[in-house]
Amino acid sequence: MTWLVAAADELTYHWRALGMAARRSRLVQRREAVGHTQESLAEILQVDRSTVGRWESGRGSPQPWMRPRLARALRLSVDQLADLLAPSGSTETVPLLAGDDDALAPVPAMRADHGHGLVAAVAVDSAESAVFLRFASASNVDDTLLEQIDADISRLAGDYVSKPVSEVFHDIGTLRRGVFDLLHGRQHPYQTSHLYLQAGRLCGLATHVALDLGQYTAAATHSRTAWRCAESAGHDGLRAWIRSVQSLIAYWQHDHRQAAELARAGLPYADDGTIATRLLSLEARAAAALGDHVSALRAVEAGEAARSTVAAVDLPGVFTFPEAKQFAYAGTALLALGSQAHVNRAIEASSRAIAMYESAPQQEQSSGDLLAAHLDLVNAHLAHGDLDGVQEKLSVVLAAAPGRRTASISSRLQALSTRLAEPAYAGSPIVLTLRENVREACSRPALTNPPELPQ
């Protein structure tokens, strides 16, 4: 708010003539009594020395959020500090100026015996309006910058689908922090709302990073921040999408009931894009894990119906829900239902997901969904006793680079290793080999830790 200092110079002449502010000698005495210079107090409070000087001279007052910190530094209560901030009665007067840490003090009512009278008061009044005009017109962003941030978010969301997390992690964090910094400044209301939308989307991408690394506490924190941003932006589409990501967090923490409830909670916010299909697919998968056949099948069918009504174009990458991903989720849900008929449908759905992804452009091929669909086929073939099919599909997963193996894929591999160790497969040399291959893959480093932040 350095602009406000310059603008307030217009008021200096009038305020000096009116003798508005008295030097706070008691505040100076207290600072000296506890052994502080202006410099040392400013250092503790992380403000400029001139800010402390303005407080003591009566040119400005500490912001409300700063007063508890100042009181602690001076070993006072907030009430005692308020008393010291009151004019000390000195006849030495100085003009009130505003700085980065100060709030403009209100102009006191004119006294009847004041020499300048009403004309001077009107002059001060109009100068204050001029200061506020500059304040109301100021912005640290423009529409071109907002457009560029939108473009960067779309690029990162698209890259996230097909590139390793390590290649996009730094860019997501850097852009997110940049938007946070902008929000600490001043913008026009519509620009602030837009920045909150951008911050929410970037926190959503950060949630995905933490989720893929298996850092569920961090993911939950990012998602709560994203939800707060969606609320501040008043954006239903983002609200719905954040609920879908929170459902994912609950699912991979094995809280399937919460995962289903979060997916349902997002549906009232769904727009005309693919988010309703995403939420219903998440509900289906969670309900199937709970053994709720009726709800799972209903959600699968509702998701298919929602696909046919999509009328809006989503942001790319992780913000959209392609049909291939819908088939991958359906395969997982149907496989969890367990009956032979459902396992057959799961094989059909997972195979279709793989075919659709493999025929898509490289930048739209989700390596995570491809590996998940192959693992679903591994389990489906194992349920049918088709060990050749198990070997074929598992080989694709085991050949994947460790950087492509997210926390969810590692979790699926560990579950498969446990299943292969069941007594029913104890006498099979093929299964023994498969189990050793899976164990060896699980022992290799995977994508479990974030890259180091740039210094």
* pLDDT score recorded for residue 234: 96
Task: Give me the mean pLDDT over the 354-364 stretch.
Answer: 91
Tokens found for residue 436: 């050793």
Average pLDDT, the chain: 84
Strand pairing report for 102-103 and 21-22: unpaired
pLDDT band at 46 (very low <50, low <70, confident <90, very high): confident
Please determine, for residue 93, whether its predicted confidence score (pLDDT) is greater than 60. Answer: no
* pLDDT score recorded for residue 87: 60
Please determine, for residue 5, whether its predicted confidence score (pLDDT) is greater than 70. Answer: no
C-alpha torsion angle, residues 246, 250, 252, 256 (rounded to 10): -130
Please determine, for residue 206, whether its predicted confidence score (pLDDT) is greater than 50. Answer: yes
For residue 119, with 0-12 CB atoms within 10 Å meaning exposed, 13-18 middle and 19 or more buried, which class applies?
exposed
* pLDDT score recorded for residue 11: 43
Report whether 322 contacts 364 (CB < 8 A).
yes
Gap between the Cα atoms of 241 and 231, Å rounded:
12
Share of the chain above pLDDT 70, in %: 85
Tokens found for residue 115: 């020499």
Report whether 274 contacts 314 (CB < 8 A).
yes
Please determine, for residue 74, whether its predicted confidence score (pLDDT) is greater than 80. Answer: yes
Q: Which of 101, 128, 100 is nearest to 20 (CA)?
A: 128
